[in-house]
Structure 1
Amino acid sequence: MNFMNGKSLGRQIQKNKHDTEVKLHSYAFLTAEELFSHLSTTQAGLTSEEAENRQAEFGKNVITVGNKNTLLHRLREAVVNPFNLILLLIAIITYFTDVVASSRPDYLTVIIILSLVLLSSLVAFIQSQRSNAAAEKLSKMISNKADAWRDGKLTEIPMDEIVPGDIVRLSAGDMLPADVRFLTTKDTFVAQAALTGESNPVEKFSDIRNNQYDGLTDLGNIGFMGSNIVSGSATAMVLATGNSTYFGSMAKSLSGDRAKTSFERGVDSVSGLLVRMMLVMVPIVFLINGLAKSDWAGALLFAISIAVGLTPEMLPVIMTSTLAKGAVSMSKHKVIVRTLGAIQTFGEMDVLCTDKTGTLTEDKIVLEKYMNLHGEDDTRILRHAYLNSYFQTGLKNLIDLAIINRAVQNGLQTMPAAYNLVDEIPFDFSRRRMSVVLTDKSGKRQLITKGAVEEIIAISSFVEMSGRVMPMDEESRRLALATYEKYNADGLRMIAVAQKNEVPGSGAFSVADERDMVLIGFVGFLDPPKESARAAITALREHGMRTVVLTGDSEGVAVKVCGKVGVNTSRLLTGRDIEQMDDAALLDAITSCDLFAKLSPSQKERVVRAFQTAGHTVGYMGDGINDAPPLRQADVGISVDSAVDIAKETADIILLKKDLMVLEEGVIEGRRTFGNIIKYIKMAASGNFGNMISVIAASIFLPFLPMLPVQILTQNLLCDLSQMGIPFDSVDKEYIRKPRKWETQSIKSFMAFLGPLSSVFDIVCFAVMWWAIGANTVELSPLFQCGWFVFGTVSQVLVIHMIRTAKLPFLQSTPSIPLFLSTFVVAVVALATGFTDFAIGLDMHRLPLVLIPWLAIILAGYLLCVQLAKKVYVRRYGEWM
């Protein structure tokens, strides 16, 4: 049946994909007038009322795969789990033995078991609801926006509110909010590797004639959700949104499980170990009790109950609630987690690769100098740079805005009115320059280019000095480079400006026209270091994290800024150096180099990969189009809320403030979250191992069961409830001083070390109940069971406080109030149950008060031995948690 359902689902996916392709293909060949008519829209876009009506018809512009996040699904997950299924099985068997087959029907045990099912399900469901609410609240804080024409004006709206028929404006760095038909394009290059695997961006056009017939993604005038604008600009009409897009039609087939993190693999390995222990234990306990006591039905129920007791069924609840609590805490430090699983990787990070601009600097670029090749102030250089920045239609970065602001201050704002834009050759990260072609009122045509100094010099055949244009020779080249290097060494970010008048009279312009240029001068910018950067880098270093700067800027500026903020500048590698290194040489270089300058996006990605190969957990922080490749490559991608769409979409962590100090606070919270999860796992592993030894010993030597199934299950649930405060617990400062990786061997060592210690004191408890209290006959077994129930519950609750810290609990390290309350309440409930008539409800006898001193002595001895064992363990293994 499942196989047929799978085939049916596969056919449905293929049909949806085919229908989407046919629809988009038909749109690609409509004329503009037919397209506007078909989607009932105009060049001025939709009205707000039309948009609301269409959203009601087509739904939100989001892709949904399955419905795992519905209220019903979360409720089903909370109720239907192995723990509850075993409880219900025991309830059914107990109903037949205690009610149907009994001369005196007893409903109490059945009621208690069903109450346990209800209580555990309620706890799991409430935690799931809280986690989901936290995740939704955080995701709303970082929603991407799109520029669409609404009510005749360009409006910024959330991407999920885009509807078919919207007219959107796109520029470099923008994600395509939906499937679109391009209406106008200007050197529009789109990266659609997520759909096609093509590494190179594809140029898009508005003309039907540029359409290819090889496949849907080859259509030159169609853009797809999931791709992004690399350079240029465009206007486009939205054709399809959400699941109706080409990406949405493939989403189900593409939605395989993502690769698991080291943390998830570690949790799986420990869970697998506990399950294997349980599978070995259950048949052994069943056979021992069945043969020794000749009650095979009781032995089976007991063995099944032991299996439940050994299963860390609260692990998903503890993990989810701890991660959700961590995400909310991090948001208070202006750090937004896009995926909860990234929190642990964030805390594990030991190398932070970061761009320079805005992270180490104020991100307030000011134009300081505009100079000719001799280094003299020259307003003519500012005028040419202003025309280039003003007329470019792509993304205006901080450099462009600084040029425009300075030109306005100098009274040049009326200057662009004398020119018309003919064409432009947009910026890209391989050329590192951009050009505009202008005509003035007299018809004179001029090409103006600005960009990286080396790139502009490389395409210049002439220089302009003292008002004369002359061929560039070795002397003039040296003069230009000397001027550049002088100011660059002073910390100015230098951009070269060139122009030429011999420009073709017609036709499209391309990179081929950027040759034989006339180098006329430089503009220099100042982006001062942040005052907080040095303190932040020092704090990161104290927490075991190395800061490495990967920048596209020149060496001089990079060295100047990094030197001021405390980054090691004793060795510097440039993009050219990286290009000449093989992987082995680069792997050797990263051990001593913290500053890489003049890098391309692919080189940044390669450096990140090298650190990962060396065994580091690498974070990358960036906010531009050129940062997308290293953001994808890094173990944890970090961006900022003001970043371009593609950087935000690629990142795992979003900072609401572009500051390394914010990052450092988030890292600490990530480590705190990881620490609380490890506490639970080590408690569960060691406690279960100890219980296994105790149960086997009791099964061999006792003539009755050491505890009945209902008592084991009640104890198990009480211990789980006592641990519900762990997500809110504090973590010792010593623990968060260094990155923490998941180490399965550490958990196994912890389990083998502490597990048998708890068994020793369980056996001491058995001895006290047998000889001191006299519960040594089958008739008095309910008294014996009550004694071990109380001791087992209280000891497991109190040992939480011993395990949670390497220090002396309460005196040197205090637990959080939620954890203290959860453990205190459960301990009181356990004692109240054992020493009052509540014990009868669990088929036990009320304990005599004479047991209280014995309990106190055994518990004190157990806790003292755990504290002593802690010191031995730390001396042997170097750490506790």
Structure 2
Amino acid sequence: MFLQRHSGAGSNRAIQKRRASEELLRPYARCTGEEALQLQGSGPRGLSAAAAAERLEECGPNRIRSEARHGLLYRLGQAFINPFNLVLLLVAAITFVTDVLLSQSGDVTTVVIVLALVGLSGLVSFVQGERSGKAAAALQSMISNQVDVVREGETRSIPIDQVVPGDVVRLSAGDIIPGDVRFLAAKDAFLSQAALTGESAPVEKFAQLPGGEKGALTDLGALGFMGSNMISGSATALVVATGNDTYFGSMAQSLSGDRAKNSFERGVDGVSRLLIRFMLAMVPVIFLVNGFTKGDWGSALLFAVTIAVGLTPEMLPMIMTSTLAKGAVAMSKHQTIVKTLSSIQTFGEMDVLCTDKTGTLTEDRIVLEKYMDVRGGDDLRILRHAYLNSAFQTGLKNLIDLAIIGRAGENGLPPLLEGYTRVDEIPFDFSRRRMSVVLSDGSGKRQLITKGAVEEVLSICAFAELDGAILPLTPDVRQAALAVCAAHSAEGLRMIAVAQKNELPAAENFSVADEREMVLLGFIGFLDPPKESSKAAVAALRQHGVRTVVLTGDSEGVAVKVCGKVGIDTGHRLTGAQVEEMDDSALGEAVQRCQLFSKLSPLQKSRVVEAFQRAGHTVGYMGDGINDAPAMRQADVGISVDSAVDIAKETADIILLKKDLMVLEEGVLEGRRTFGNIVKYIKMAASGNFGNMISVMVASLFLPFLPLLPVHILIQNLLCDFAQLGIPFDRVDASYLRSPRRWETGTIQRFMLIMGPLSSLFDIALYLLLWFWLGANTAGLAPLFQCGCFVFGTLSQIAVVHMIRTARIPFVQSRAALPLALSTGVVGAVALFLGFGPAAAAIDLRPLPLAFLPCLALLLGGYCVASQLVKRLYVRRWGEWL
């Protein structure tokens, strides 16, 4: 269930909105379809263009608009109000009291600088957040779900957000319900209402129930609701409510929408907990050490709080958002649209790609190759019956139907349609895997024609037509027919069966129960050749640590043929029937070896994906049909294509504008680049800040003054964060892209514990230089000592950006991207200007003499050399760097 309890006024408002929605909708379940149309001022021909435009202006776009939608002022406030800025404001307030109110000099310089830092950091976060948000929104706008709507008697396809109350819509399997609707006609229409009720079983809907209906609103058979989707069948419906006026919209305030966190979110949580643990361990120690050694407990508390901020990578949210948005834009250039930004990292982490066969490994260009009788001989009558079935069905015409209709046109069969009228149809669904039409000819003779998956059609046949005679479908005849199919499947043909019967009741409505005692006529074979790029794409994914596994509802023979041509090992393979017999433990063992699963149902696909996940894999699922939706929801990252059915696009995290695995491979690499740059920032910031805190704590034990004032720490931290603003645009080593990457909190902790103390060693060497060589060893010369610490601390963190960003030798084997080189160069210049120029006095520092510059350069050079040596030992010991 998505429902969540709330208390107070918000809960009351939500209840009132649901009651109002129920009062609006319930009468439509009690009236006839004609009365419902009258209530909406509509008719069977739908609305006029002018009326639709007027209603769209009145009701607004058909979108759920939460009352908690964040406006510009809210986003601006979020950019400025964060723990880092709050501490800065606290420092400014205390400084104002001590330096202005309680001091005779009334020096406001420090206060002004701190407030300027608040404004600058908030402004950068806001601008970057707005740019990232606009980029993500622009990409998502490229993907839109469509709906067939009747306007002025003509059916046209429009975006769902353009649907208005009074529209008459036509729905088929895979469509999203575009609003709250009253069904006017329905044929085997089953809806998934899990988003509303939590019930996974589909619910059948009807055009009319005699005597009205009672019970819960979502149980009323004549009503459909936004947030649900068509599982099977077809329907015509009247839209009675859109957007926030829908039942789903009325629940907007009480929808939890909480889903399991993905690996990216879990990784961020893990890093946050790690940093909090370090902060909780170190801050009390620093507070007590400075309190006892300096005797000023107020200053010690302020210093400890500042240290806490210094240990936190404040720019992490902004860096992550910018990096993810930049990754999304880069992926769009490879025809990959990201709907959920955090899925980019999961995309790069993926090590198993489950995919359907049709259109992904194959051309998605189905050609009808053969039409044959039960014995395998050519027979045009089989094409004739298949053509009548495909031409008269009203549901979604798939590629098979289009191929049949195209071949029928080549054989001059279209005039055949003039002699028949459709009485009824039994739509396709993924449990039966067949569909039927009931036709009547000019003489009134009726026939039921069925086509579908071979075994499913055979299951409803009691007879077979052989040489013009109708004979019982004996086990021998059945086996011979299956042998014909198997032989052609082995050649790569996709086989479907065609059956019919003539003895039908004089009824107007038919159901699945009428699909029995049928006559098997023969088979049709289709060829969907493998794409030329598929073999190279599968090999490229394999080289980058992604295993491609085919999950298909097609027959085993066809799947084996295609997989063999594209380089997927089929030595171990399973069918849906075999999967059904396995328990979870056996299936978990099987997925470690098997790379082809055929004849799978939608739920079996989802179960296979779950088995991979239990085995510790990060799974992507690529699909485009309604039968793929359960597996896409189960997968860590759902991937679909722009031409997919609505529910597949709605479920997906990532949409491909081109149905090609090579496009997917580019997206995987971009996901890894994005994650690599995020990890760079975290490791740089965490280890650098951790090392600085160790240095400060050591200095506090031996120095008669603080090595850095709180304002110095905050400015230094801010400068270092600005230096790293170019990280989202940085390059990533090719070696890093070769294998899937996932969050490893333990490796970040290990990195901190090694690289942090290394920087502390050079900080301590700096203290010795400042104390003994520069002579800054008295309280009066504390500003000079602090200036040296400030400059070296800033420059060393900038230098370490280039040392950490690559496992190779920086500047020689791997150079930073221009944005990162510029950001670090500019901040380095600012640090030198503050440290050696007159501006030092503005932040209570004393300028360093130029004679100290060679010592500073020597110390920085030693730090870089030591970092490179440690890097080599680290990579040799643990086999990784980032």
TM-score (norm 2): 0.98
Stretch deviating more after TM superposition (724-733 or 24-33):
24-33
* d(CA) in 2 for partners of 1:802, 1:750: 13
Counting only pairs closer than 5 Å after superposition, residues 593-608 of structure 1 correspond to structure 2 as 593-608=594-609
Percent sequence identity is 65
| Residue of structure 1 equivalent to 2:336 | 335
* d(CA) in 2 for partners of 1:157, 1:435: 29
1:555 matched to 2:553: no
* d(CA) in 2 for partners of 1:320, 1:523: 52
* d(CA) in 1 for partners of 2:863, 2:309: 25
1:854 matched to 2:855: yes
| Residue of structure 2 equivalent to 1:157 | 158
* d(CA) in 2 for partners of 1:324, 1:666: 14
* Superposition deviation, residue 152 in structure 1: 4.0
* d(CA) in 1 for partners of 2:57, 2:460: 55
The answer (yes or no) to whether the contact 1:210–1:221 under 8 Å persists in 2 is: no
* d(CA) in 2 for partners of 1:476, 1:507: 34
* Superposition deviation, residue 185 in structure 1: 1.7
* Superposition deviation, residue 60 in structure 1: 1.7
| Residue of structure 2 equivalent to 1:705 | 706
| Residue of structure 1 equivalent to 2:751 | 750
| Residue of structure 2 equivalent to 1:174 | 175
Distance 1:327-1:86 versus aligned 2 partners, 3 A rule = same
The answer (yes or no) to whether the contact 2:33–2:183 under 8 Å persists in 1 is: no
| Residue of structure 1 equivalent to 2:506 | 505
* d(CA) in 1 for partners of 2:316, 2:82: 12
1:545 matched to 2:546: yes
Counting only pairs closer than 5 Å after superposition, residues 530-679 of structure 1 correspond to structure 2 as 530-679=531-680
Letter in 2 for 1:241: T
| Residue of structure 2 equivalent to 1:262 | 263
The one-character-per-residue Cα deviations of 1:74-106 (angstroms, maximum 9, x if unpaired) are: 101001111111111111111121122221221
* Superposition deviation, residue 456 in structure 1: 1.8
Stretch deviating more after TM superposition (66-75 or 419-428):
66-75
Stretch deviating more after TM superposition (524-533 or 84-93):
84-93
Matched position secondary structure for 1:414 = helix
* d(CA) in 1 for partners of 2:49, 2:435: 37
Counting only pairs closer than 5 Å after superposition, residues 336-735 of structure 1 correspond to structure 2 as 336-735=337-736
Letter in 2 for 1:84: N
* Superposition deviation, residue 170 in structure 1: 1.0
Letter in 2 for 1:145: Q
The one-character-per-residue Cα deviations of 1:273-301 (angstroms, maximum 9, x if unpaired) are: 22232233333323322332333333333
* d(CA) in 2 for partners of 1:396, 1:511: 20
* Superposition deviation, residue 600 in structure 1: 0.7
* Superposition deviation, residue 272 in structure 1: 2.3
Letter in 2 for 1:648: K
Stretch deviating more after TM superposition (558-567 or 428-437):
428-437
* d(CA) in 1 for partners of 2:138, 2:212: 43
Letter in 2 for 1:292: T
* d(CA) in 2 for partners of 1:212, 1:635: 41
| Residue of structure 2 equivalent to 1:52 | 53
* d(CA) in 1 for partners of 2:586, 2:278: 47
Matched position secondary structure for 2:125 = helix
Stretch deviating more after TM superposition (406-415 or 306-315):
306-315
| Residue of structure 2 equivalent to 1:32 | 33
Matched position secondary structure for 2:779 = coil
* Superposition deviation, residue 211 in structure 1: 4.9
Stretch deviating more after TM superposition (352-361 or 564-573):
564-573
1:313 matched to 2:314: yes
Q: Which runs of 5+ in 1 are unaligned?
A: none
The one-character-per-residue Cα deviations of 1:320-379 (angstroms, maximum 9, x if unpaired) are: 111111111111111111111111111111001100000000000011111112222111
* d(CA) in 1 for partners of 2:103, 2:783: 19
The answer (yes or no) to whether the contact 2:434–2:451 under 8 Å persists in 1 is: yes
The answer (yes or no) to whether the contact 2:264–2:343 under 8 Å persists in 1 is: no
The one-character-per-residue Cα deviations of 1:770-824 (angstroms, maximum 9, x if unpaired) are: 1111111111111111111000000001100000111000111111111110001
Counting only pairs closer than 5 Å after superposition, residues 802-813 of structure 1 correspond to structure 2 as 802-813=803-814
Matched position secondary structure for 2:503 = coil
* d(CA) in 2 for partners of 1:304, 1:197: 46
Distance 1:398-1:26 versus aligned 2 partners, 3 A rule = same
The answer (yes or no) to whether the contact 2:46–2:153 under 8 Å persists in 1 is: yes
Distance 1:211-1:389 versus aligned 2 partners, 3 A rule = farther
Stretch deviating more after TM superposition (413-422 or 466-475):
466-475
* Superposition deviation, residue 68 in structure 1: 4.2
Matched position secondary structure for 2:784 = helix
The answer (yes or no) to whether the contact 1:211–1:220 under 8 Å persists in 2 is: no
The one-character-per-residue Cα deviations of 1:670-712 (angstroms, maximum 9, x if unpaired) are: 0111111111111122112211210111111111111122211
* Superposition deviation, residue 458 in structure 1: 2.1
* d(CA) in 1 for partners of 2:259, 2:433: 35
Q: Which runs of 5+ in 2 are unaligned?
A: none
| Residue of structure 2 equivalent to 1:136 | 137
Stretch deviating more after TM superposition (113-122 or 278-287):
278-287
* Superposition deviation, residue 5 in structure 1: 9.4
Letter in 2 for 1:711: H
User: What number of residue pairs does the alignment pair up?
Assistant: 878
TM-score (norm 1): 0.98
* d(CA) in 2 for partners of 1:122, 1:87: 15
The answer (yes or no) to whether the contact 1:499–1:518 under 8 Å persists in 2 is: yes
Distance 1:562-1:210 versus aligned 2 partners, 3 A rule = farther
The answer (yes or no) to whether the contact 1:232–1:393 under 8 Å persists in 2 is: no
The answer (yes or no) to whether the contact 1:271–1:312 under 8 Å persists in 2 is: no
The one-character-per-residue Cα deviations of 1:217-269 (angstroms, maximum 9, x if unpaired) are: 12111111111112221111111111111111122222254322233222222
* d(CA) in 2 for partners of 1:146, 1:85: 49
Letter in 2 for 1:625: I
Letter in 2 for 1:577: Q
* Superposition deviation, residue 507 in structure 1: 4.8
The one-character-per-residue Cα deviations of 1:201-221 (angstroms, maximum 9, x if unpaired) are: 222111142854121112111
The one-character-per-residue Cα deviations of 1:413-436 (angstroms, maximum 9, x if unpaired) are: 111110111111111222211111
Matched position secondary structure for 1:104 = coil
Letter in 1 for 2:201: N
Matched position secondary structure for 2:428 = strand
Letter in 2 for 1:272: R
Letter in 2 for 1:397: N
| Residue of structure 1 equivalent to 2:799 | 798
| Residue of structure 2 equivalent to 1:215 | 216
| Residue of structure 1 equivalent to 2:87 | 86
The answer (yes or no) to whether the contact 2:28–2:36 under 8 Å persists in 1 is: yes
Stretch deviating more after TM superposition (478-487 or 104-113):
478-487
The answer (yes or no) to whether the contact 1:231–1:394 under 8 Å persists in 2 is: no
Stretch deviating more after TM superposition (468-477 or 713-722):
468-477
* d(CA) in 1 for partners of 2:410, 2:236: 32
The one-character-per-residue Cα deviations of 1:817-870 (angstroms, maximum 9, x if unpaired) are: 111100010001101111110111111111101101110111011110000000
Matched position secondary structure for 2:427 = strand
Stretch deviating more after TM superposition (99-108 or 597-606):
99-108
Coordinate RMSD, CA, aligned: 1.5
* d(CA) in 2 for partners of 1:840, 1:268: 41
| Residue of structure 1 equivalent to 2:14 | 13
Matched position secondary structure for 1:879 = coil
Matched position secondary structure for 1:596 = strand
Stretch deviating more after TM superposition (324-333 or 63-72):
63-72
* Superposition deviation, residue 591 in structure 1: 1.4
* Superposition deviation, residue 604 in structure 1: 0.7
The answer (yes or no) to whether the contact 2:371–2:379 under 8 Å persists in 1 is: yes
* d(CA) in 2 for partners of 1:690, 1:558: 57
Distance 1:585-1:788 versus aligned 2 partners, 3 A rule = same
The answer (yes or no) to whether the contact 2:423–2:508 under 8 Å persists in 1 is: no
The one-character-per-residue Cα deviations of 1:575-632 (angstroms, maximum 9, x if unpaired) are: 1111111111111111111011111111111111111111111111110111111111
Matched position secondary structure for 2:375 = coil
The answer (yes or no) to whether the contact 1:189–1:203 under 8 Å persists in 2 is: yes
* Superposition deviation, residue 149 in structure 1: 2.3
Stretch deviating more after TM superposition (266-275 or 552-561):
266-275
